[in-house]
Structure 1
Amino acid sequence: MSHLLLLITRNAFRQKLRTLLTLIGIVIAIIAFGLLRTVVDAWYGKAESASAARLITRNAISLLFPLPLSYKNKIQQTKGVSAMSYSVWFGGIYISEKNFFPQFAIEPRSYLDLYPEYVLPPDQKKAFFLDRQGAVAGERLANKYGWKIGDTIPIRGVIYPGNWNFVLRGIYRGETKGVDETLFMFHWQHLNERIKEDKATNENIDHVGIYIVGLENSSQAAKISQEIDSQFKNSPAETLTETEKVFQLSFVAMTEAIVTVIKIVSFLVIIIIMAIMANTMAMNARERKREYATLKALGFSGKYIALLVYGESLIIAITGGILGLILLYPTAHIFVTKIGTFFPIFRVTIQTAWLSIGAAIMVGISAAAIPAWRGATTPILSGFRDIG
């Protein structure tokens, strides 16, 4: 067995330049495949990390329309509701338009209670609660812009015009790797007070964007959603309540066509490298017809010849797959650094790693199929007739 493996390995690297170029192609293909699959995973990242014990209540018409703060008490009194909070999308600009990151005005205490996955040191949490102008940011966001505790963060309002200055009182980290660390959050009360002073936006006084509803039992989500919405039926601002996961998936649905295209391209990359690999194996097999004929003349079976071809193809493919996977991680890190906070959760998962290796193995097996069949079935005399 060791002699067979040694023979296969020597055959695989006999034509060094050809093998090297094939390996480079496989490495690039695996990196591209893994990166595209990671982008798809990132698109669904927020939805996958959503809690089954939280509901989102929004305006039934659109997220663009706010809800009155007066709805809070009715929702809180709904049977099965354990806690609730609210938030408003702020949508300001930090220095320039390219510095995009999610900004929310929140009710600090109840909001952080509902999101225990946002881990904030007790002293920082206390400082945030006490400072009406205070804000907290995710660790990834703070690292990107070099923010430190106590820094003043200037943001130019778009939805809510004016220059806003926030004091960074806390930097939270995710409880797990799947938690979004790109959020910027500040006091809703601070926003509401500024709205009262601005006649142009005072129609949004005492209004919120969404309500976040914590459940005593996640299995009652559908029932409680209906009960909440029924309370505001035929009101000036009817509500739509859905699970946090469904709420997040509604954003993904807006770009479903893009996600589908990325999925298709990721598999096209594998098909292209499969064709390149098949051409390499066909050339190798064509050059070794006399060797295969000699082996058959010595008594080796066609299955043995096929095994040599398959082994050679798999060694090249798996070597390229492993190298590609090793390089995928630093490539993904560079990629996410360049795109900033567009993808809040961007990491190469175990599933993507296995898919990449599986794709490499599939390329190796598929590319060797025809050359192995030809090598196994070519008559001995036909093999010796080829001088090339």
Structure 2
Amino acid sequence: MYVLKLISRNLLRHKLRTSLTLLGLVIAVLAFGLLQTVVDAWYAGAAAASNARLVTRNAISLVFPLPLSYENRIRGVDGVTLIARSSWFGGTYRDPKNFFAQFAVSDNYLDLYPEFVLPEAQRADYRRDRKGALIGRQLADQFGFKIGDVIPIKGTIYPGTWEFVVRGIFDGRDASTITRTMLFHYDYLNETVRKRTGRQVDQVGVFILGVADPDNAATISRNVDAVFHNSLAETLTETEQAFQLGFVAMSNQIIAAIRLVSYVVIVIIMAVMANAMAMSARERTVEYATLKALGFGPGFLALIVFGESILMGLVGGAIGMLATPPLAAIFKQAVGGVLPVFSVSRETMQMQALCALVVGVVAGIVPAIQAARVRIVEGLRAIG
């Protein structure tokens, strides 16, 4: 117990140096946690995707749609239990900066997404209204949408101003479910386009497939694509998770850079803390020589120096970890819903604790060895 007391008192002898070093460590651990949370948020959509759902799209590119007539042929593939349509609308709300996902979907779309929780009464109202729309809770909170509101959307892919009436607001099953989305009737889109232009009619962006057995997803995917082999619009069918990861893969270099920066921050603070510990050890050379003259061994000297470094690492890491969740919440609010799922995971907290411990251990190794090797004569010679 007296060893811990000695370590604590040594840590507080140079309050300014200790405070600045702790502050740097707190900022480093905090920055590491926030950057890792950004990476987690980037992968949130793919992480929440289900392997029990398949996505069928045009094999050339997602830009090219599929004929609506494919729906019945896909439904006949063995293992497919349910099929829904989904087409990207790509409009803007009032201002181009107010961008959010809008999908024209078939009425059975929510049957494939049990993670979206919608009261049955609101779903019935939505089905009765040709211009009805369903709004995710995160999107409703961001823009203040309420049931009954009329939302004007300026189309980009489909020109003109489209008006939708909010008939339901769906919640996520848990905090990891992204609900920053607007859904509306595919039939409304298709019929309106038919009347306005006559082009882009009876076309679907992707088909979402429900399968009886997720273990057979690969076989079912091959069978679906085989149906349209050598057709004018060949298909590519993959799990929803693989489909989402395809989007994330486009920004792999950005993700890698963020990860690299997070670890560089830790390495920098490790060097700063090692320098601070080395300075403390050099200043106490006389004290270490005196302790050796009194009979304390090299192991004891190494222990108090090493313990001081680890204690500083643990204290700084703990403060940084405690500050990460509230600052993450503030950051999420500040970015205005760009990252709908932005919460610090348990894995990130564990990595923060590990990094703080590693910093404390590595920073204390060299000063501890130097303290253990102090010679009594050379140390006492510096007195006076």
Where on the TM-score scale, by shorter chain, does this alignment land: which range? over 0.9
Alignment of 1:126-275 (within 5 A): 126-199=124-197, 202-275=198-271
User: Secondary structure at the residue paired with 1:173?
Assistant: strand
Aligned position for 1:117:
115
Cα distance in 1 for partners of 2:130, 2:30 equals 47
Deviation by residue 1:337-371 (Cα, 9 ceiling, x = unmatched): 22233333221100000001110111000111110
Out of 309, 312, 317, the residue aligned to residue 313 of structure 1 is: 309
Cα distance in 2 for partners of 1:150, 1:308 equals 68
Cα distance in 2 for partners of 1:125, 1:382 equals 84
CA apart distance, 1:43: 1.5
Cα distance in 2 for partners of 1:385, 1:105 equals 84
Cα distance in 1 for partners of 2:221, 2:337 equals 32
User: Secondary structure at the residue paired with 1:88?
Assistant: strand
Deviation by residue 1:290-315 (Cα, 9 ceiling, x = unmatched): 11111111111111111111111111
Cα distance in 1 for partners of 2:62, 2:136 equals 24
Q: Does 1:373 align with 2:369?
A: yes
Paired AA for residue 366 in structure 2:
I
TM-score scaled by length of structure 1: 0.96
CA apart distance, 1:33: 0.5
Check conservation: 1:33, 1:270, Cα contact below 8 A: yes
CA apart distance, 1:386: 2.9
CA apart distance, 1:177: 1.7
CA apart distance, 1:137: 1.4
Aligned residues: 384
Paired AA for residue 43 in structure 1:
W
Q: Does 1:46 align with 2:61?
A: no
Aligned position for 1:27:
26
CA apart distance, 1:194: 1.4
Cα distance in 2 for partners of 1:300, 1:230 equals 79
Over the matched positions of the two proteins, sequence identity in percent amounts to 51
Deviation by residue 1:217-248 (Cα, 9 ceiling, x = unmatched): 00101110010001111111110001111101
Check conservation: 1:100, 1:341, Cα contact below 8 A: no
Aligned position for 2:275:
279
Aligned position for 1:334:
330
Deviation by residue 1:54-102 (Cα, 9 ceiling, x = unmatched): 1000000101101111111111111011111010001111121222211
Paired AA for residue 348 in structure 1:
V
Aligned position for 1:353:
349
Check conservation: 1:133, 1:186, Cα contact below 8 A: yes
Check conservation: 1:302, 1:376, Cα contact below 8 A: yes
CA apart distance, 1:3: 1.2
User: Secondary structure at the residue paired with 1:74?
Assistant: helix
Paired AA for residue 219 in structure 2:
K
Paired AA for residue 94 in structure 2:
I
Check conservation: 1:173, 1:181, Cα contact below 8 A: yes
Paired AA for residue 340 in structure 1:
G
Cα distance in 1 for partners of 2:344, 2:272 equals 26
Cα distance in 2 for partners of 1:119, 1:324 equals 36
Aligned position for 2:295:
299
Cα distance in 1 for partners of 2:154, 2:10 equals 64
User: Secondary structure at the residue paired with 2:50?
Assistant: coil
Cα 1:107–1:370, aligned 2, differ >3 Å: closer, same or farther?
A: same
Cα 1:298–1:93, aligned 2, differ >3 Å: closer, same or farther?
A: same
CA apart distance, 1:196: 0.8
CA apart distance, 1:145: 1.0
Check conservation: 1:54, 1:214, Cα contact below 8 A: yes
User: Secondary structure at the residue paired with 1:326?
Assistant: helix
Q: Does 1:84 align with 2:83?
A: yes
Check conservation: 1:93, 1:155, Cα contact below 8 A: yes
Check conservation: 1:100, 1:342, Cα contact below 8 A: no
CA apart distance, 1:210: 0.3
Check conservation: 1:101, 1:341, Cα contact below 8 A: no
CA apart distance, 1:148: 1.3
User: Secondary structure at the residue paired with 2:199?
Assistant: helix
Cα distance in 2 for partners of 1:13, 1:316 equals 10
Cα distance in 2 for partners of 1:197, 1:214 equals 32
Q: Does 1:102 align with 2:98?
A: no
Cα 1:84–1:386, aligned 2, differ >3 Å: closer, same or farther?
A: farther
Structure 1 residue ranges without an equivalent (≥5): none
Deviation by residue 1:154-213 (Cα, 9 ceiling, x = unmatched): 1111111111111111111111221112111111111111111222xx331111100000
CA apart distance, 1:151: 1.2
Cα distance in 2 for partners of 1:125, 1:368 equals 62
Cα distance in 2 for partners of 1:34, 1:211 equals 38
Out of 358, 370, 380, the residue aligned to residue 362 of structure 1 is: 358
